[in-house]
Structure 1
Amino acid sequence: PCAVEDEQPNYSGFGYLVSGLAEAGYVALSVNINAENTFGFGEPVPGERLAQLLRAHLVALETASAGGENGFGVALNGRADLSRIALAGHSRGGENAYWLTHQQEWDVFPQGNDSIAGILLVAASPATFFLETSDTPQAQVLPNCDGDVIGLDGQLFYEHNRLDESHTAWMTSVVLARANHNHFNSILRGDMAPQHSEGDRPDCDTLIEPEAQRQFLVDYAVDFLTVLFGEDADAVGQAQRNLGLDVTAVAPSELYGLPARVAFQPPADKRQTLFVPRTADEQTTNLLGGTVTAENVDTTFCPDRFYSPESMPGTEACHRVNVIVPGQPAHAVLAWSAPGAAWRLGLPEGQGDLSGYTTLSLRVVADPLTMTEPPLFSLQLTDTAGNTAVVTLSPDEPALQLPEGAVREDEFLPAGVFRGIVPLLTLHVPLADFAGVDAAQVSEVAVLFDQTPSGAIFLADVAATRP
């Protein structure tokens, strides 16, 4: 093992978070897992040291809370409920937290894996290409100017679960503007590869103060835990609004006073998914079995993960090699060249009862290689009696803003390269705004490209949702 004077105590850099959670009434631990990430303690299989360390701490905590031996230095008798645990991890620790929710090889949690109520992943770094589904509530904080996990690859944990039909838990991710990777840890210096104008990232020239970035994480974590464990309905509702999880509200452009943008997928029992897409079949038939119709719209299915037009012909419009879409999700590209274009989801008879929902939610972003202005469009609902209603989306919708960055020429890529992050974001439209349409008898949901004359969007999700 490293000499004590040589070992970097990364865990201590989250002392501020532990203190903030303790002040909010939680028992919180920041665990030194260096032994998992060095050969100084031998070369076990991956995860073994992590499992041993975490179990040792949790067993000790359980003992102290039961009135037994207490080496933690604070009074803990009767304080800790180990049937209700949340895990948080930064960088590679984010992947560790995710893995712990579904691993079965080691007995880590005194009251079993079912005691894990949720995971908070901060600037997470996935190192494993093949993921298992984790049906656990998940929140992600993605720093837009991450100089370590530059592509915000932790979003992969969200996108993987989104494509699994068996996944039922809610998930959210927030892209925090002008935040970097290392400032979440109070003992670390700046990032190894800082993002700034020299790398065509002028949006990252001025970062938020490290203390403000860490306070954001404290505030976010406290509200996340309130949503998981809160018993007061009003407090839980306020925490959901603070996190940007209220589907009845306009999607936020900031959280806790800082510029931030949100993606959110409600739990399965609070959404009726109409479009994901998981496969190319959804270009013609939606998840309810209805017909998908494109009128003067060029549609392209973009599978998840990384590829190029050479390795996967026909995906040129996906721009996988030209732009960074966090998590490299499966999505569709909808491109139009003149006003009057439309993309329609038909709902079969007996499948169009949306009256139990409050909101029509989409996850979308402008294609930055195509758009020079926000892609404004309208949504239309039609019922079986032929009644229609159109809602034109607000130009202030965060999901419709052009991603910050710049297009640069590239000698190998004729379309150029976009220097910036292109996250798919959620927008909400109240179903009540579609006046005159019977929500119990909806026959069609349509996207009308009636505002911006031409352009292209990436579309990942369409669903009816409720709080």
Structure 2
Amino acid sequence: MRRLLAAALLAPLAATMLVTGTAQAAPAEVPDPLVNGSHEVSEAPYNLGDTAYTPPGFAKPVELAGQVYYPKDATKGPYPLVVFLHGRHSTCMSAPTGGNPSLAWPCTDGRLPIPSHLGYAYAARSLASHGYAVISISANGINAVDNSDAQYGMVARGHLTLKHLDLWRDWREQAGAPISQESVRSFDFGKVGLMGHSRGGEGIVRAVELNSQRPTPYAIKAILPLAPTDFHRRIPLNLPVGTLIPTCDGDLSDLQGVHYYDDARYTDANDIGVHSIFTVIGANHNYFNTNWTPSSGLAGAWDDWRSSNTSSQCHPSQSTRLSEEKQRDAGNGYLGSFFRHYLGGETAFAPLWRGEIGTPASIAATVLVSYHSPSVNNRRLDVNRFAAADSHQVNQLGGQVTLGGTLTTKLCGGTPSTADASCLNTKQSSRQREPHRGYGTLGVAAQRLVWGHISDTLSNTIPLAHQDIRKFAAVRFRAAVDFTDPANPAGVAQDLQVVVTDRAGGKATVPVSQFGKHLDYPHVPPGSADVIPHFLFHQVRVPLSAFTGVDLSRVDSVYLAFNKTPKGAIAVADLTFSD
């Protein structure tokens, strides 16, 4: 089953407090996501044994162990419940030095388990301070043998996640919990969120699928795959999915997690889920987990960025590479605000997650957010997906597409895996270079646009039936700058204008650079081979409020005007009006 059904519809949302984000244009205010909440936090370990549970279909038994973080005052609940699942890592280390990592389970000869599940304590404590219960679970037993499993342990990880929920649900009514029964009963099983890192990210996607097959499923309301694998191209639908992508991921250097967003966009016209992808520039794979980070001193902890190219933006010597602290601040701020918004109903975070503002000022990183709203309930109107060979002639609404001046266009990306389908001028087709490519399955089909004069345009006519766009908040499209094409001067950001016209001849023009850094030229290091840069799509969002002097109830066209730079080459996809 490729399409996954959430157990319940999204919960209604409610608003709360404020602090500023970085400016783009009249930015909305959101809470500072790094400020702790008012709840005093308690925590406790639990361990039912190294071989306490055998996931269905898995070859060996695994541990049932974890750490729970929760607000101390149970009377102020109920508290939404979030489960954290770590990824694949070494499982055992020498005692007492913490060295000599190995991949075995259970640990023998006096060796100790590596506590990967404790590496997210900073994020768990922060969430708990805001009124959430967090259970971070250990999956060492799966990691030890998952490469011998046909599903690489993904189904087992899903079963393990649900088993821990079963434990805590049972502890509400019977003895055995590591904390008071009053505290357990303050956990809200009607609002459950899941976060999974690396293979844990794919594991929580499987948990959603397995949960939907249960007679009495849990109310899983939101999931966050963090630097995730996507070996099997599962597509979670009908709930908010926020995928974190670190650009300096040396473990999953093909950034395959982008497909959770890409594949879900148009899979089901009735999908009620919100899909977001947030790209953290300069972050690696491991530093989101403190116990996988070299400063921890634990076995197996390392900087996964392995390139020796000191000119790479990902090399630790470069200012573009995030430190451990800055990376975790970004992870904590976006992870926490995601669950506080979509699980806890703090709608003050909506501008951040809709891409209306830049990175919050307290986070010393650049984070670019793409947001795909549901097509149901009039929240999104697709103008041009740029996904078909004739999408430079007719758009999704049946309107005419017109190329003006010297502009040329060519379909690229998508399913074909040949070099000819590359969106790059210099064919460098590879999973690392073009993460959005399909390679035999789904992928992002786009139009490669090349212009050579400031009069060049690409216009989409809006048919009469869709001329009133006042119910939407913004025009959006995804774009990526071709760093292999000399039409784009090295190191110089690209720019263009979005133009909206009405049926009375009114016209409003807005430069996209006014609203973010999404068309920045990627850092291209000289010297030895490097998987940086990636050809990554980022979403450009221009609020409709910026288009003054035009009648948004009688819109005739929306077009891209390439009059900000004399020449350029980009790929574009997903032109929409949305919330």
**Is the structural similarity TM-score above 0.5?**
yes
Q: Which residue of 1 aligns with 2:418?
A: 308
Structure 1 pair 407–274 and aligned structure 2 pair: CA distance change class (3 A): farther
> How big is each residue's C-alpha offset from its partner over 1:376-420, in whole Å with a ceiling of 9 and x where there is no partner?
21111111223222223336731121112237799xxxxxx9831
Displacement after TM superposition at 1:298 (Å): 1.1
Q: Distance in 2 between matches of 1:385 and 1:119?
A: 46
> How big is each residue's C-alpha offset from its partner over 1:435-460, in whole Å with a ceiling of 9 and x where there is no partner?
22211111111101112111111212
**Equivalent residues of 1:172, 1:263 under 8 A apart:** yes
1:261 counterpart (368, 381, 400): 368
Q: Which residue of 2 aligns with 1:352?
A: 467
Deviates most, 389-398 or 54-63: 389-398
In the alignment, structure 2 segments of 5+ residues that lack a partner are 1-104, 293-300, 438-443
Q: Which residue of 2 aligns with 1:272?
A: 381
Q: What amino acid is aligned across from residue 34 of structure 1 in structure 2?
A: N
> How big is each residue's C-alpha offset from its partner over 1:153-199, in whole Å with a ceiling of 9 and x where there is no partner?
11111111113243332122222122211111111122344346347
Deviates most, 282-291 or 165-174: 165-174
Q: Distance in 2 between matches of 1:430 and 1:59?
A: 44
Within 5 Å, give how 1:49-448 maps onto structure 2.
Answer: 49-64=156-171, 66-73=172-179, 76-103=183-210, 107=214, 111-112=216-217, 115-128=219-232, 130-166=233-269, 167-188=271-292, 189-195=301-307, 197-198=309-310, 200-201=312-313, 205-206=317-318, 207-231=321-345, 235-237=346-348, 239-241=349-351, 244-246=352-354, 249-252=356-359, 256-268=363-375, 269=377, 270-295=379-404, 296-304=406-414, 307-309=417-419, 312=421, 317=425, 319=427, 321=429, 324-328=433-437, 329-370=444-485, 371-372=488-489, 373-394=492-513, 397-406=516-525, 419-448=532-561
Q: Distance in 2 between matches of 1:446 and 1:205?
A: 42
Alignment RMSD (CA, Å): 3.0
Structure 1 pair 354–132 and aligned structure 2 pair: CA distance change class (3 A): same
**Equivalent residues of 2:475, 2:544 under 8 A apart:** yes
Q: Distance in 1 between matches of 2:281 and 2:154?
A: 32
Displacement after TM superposition at 1:318 (Å): 8.7
Q: Which residue of 2 aligns with 1:24?
A: 130
Q: Distance in 1 between matches of 2:160 and 2:287?
A: 25
**Equivalent residues of 1:279, 1:303 under 8 A apart:** no
What SS is found at the alignment partner of 2:550?
coil
Between the aligned residues of both structures, percent identity stands at: 22
Structure 1 pair 425–43 and aligned structure 2 pair: CA distance change class (3 A): closer
What SS is found at the alignment partner of 2:350?
helix
What SS is found at the alignment partner of 2:408?
strand
**Equivalent residues of 1:157, 1:327 under 8 A apart:** no
Q: Distance in 1 between matches of 2:304 and 2:147?
A: 26
Displacement after TM superposition at 1:131 (Å): 3.0
> How big is each residue's C-alpha offset from its partner over 1:71-116, in whole Å with a ceiling of 9 and x where there is no partner?
2335524211212111100011111112222346864xx8415x11
Structure 1 pair 50–225 and aligned structure 2 pair: CA distance change class (3 A): same
Aligned residue pairs, count: 446
Structure 1 pair 251–364 and aligned structure 2 pair: CA distance change class (3 A): farther
**Equivalent residues of 1:35, 1:41 under 8 A apart:** no
> How big is each residue's C-alpha offset from its partner over 1:306-340, in whole Å with a ceiling of 9 and x where there is no partner?
62335x5x866495617834433322211111221
Structure 1 pair 50–423 and aligned structure 2 pair: CA distance change class (3 A): same
Q: What amino acid is aligned across from residue 404 of structure 1 in structure 2?
A: H
| Structure with the largest fraction of helix | 1
**Equivalent residues of 2:241, 2:275 under 8 A apart:** yes
Structure 1 pair 369–3 and aligned structure 2 pair: CA distance change class (3 A): same
Q: Distance in 2 between matches of 1:40 and 1:430?
A: 46
**Equivalent residues of 1:366, 1:402 under 8 A apart:** yes
Structure 1 pair 306–106 and aligned structure 2 pair: CA distance change class (3 A): same
What SS is found at the alignment partner of 2:263?
helix
Deviates most, 156-165 or 86-95: 156-165
Q: Distance in 2 between matches of 1:325 and 1:264?
A: 20
Structure 1 pair 406–291 and aligned structure 2 pair: CA distance change class (3 A): farther
Q: Distance in 1 between matches of 2:330 and 2:551?
A: 42
Displacement after TM superposition at 1:300 (Å): 1.4
Deviates most, 132-141 or 349-358: 132-141
Q: Which residue of 2 aligns with 1:2?
A: 106
In the alignment, structure 1 segments of 5+ residues that lack a partner are 411-416
Q: Which residue of 1 aligns with 2:38?
A: none
Deviates most, 189-198 or 41-50: 41-50
Q: Distance in 2 between matches of 1:420 and 1:42?
A: 33
Q: Distance in 2 between matches of 1:320 and 1:185?
A: 32
Q: Distance in 2 between matches of 1:39 and 1:258?
A: 36
Q: What amino acid is aligned across from residue 200 of structure 2 in structure 1?
A: G
1:449 counterpart (562, 565, 568): 562
> How big is each residue's C-alpha offset from its partner over 1:349-376, in whole Å with a ceiling of 9 and x where there is no partner?
2222111112212222221122113222
Structure 1 pair 61–250 and aligned structure 2 pair: CA distance change class (3 A): closer
**TM-score using structure 2 length:** 0.70
**TM-score using structure 1 length:** 0.85
What SS is found at the alignment partner of 2:381?
strand
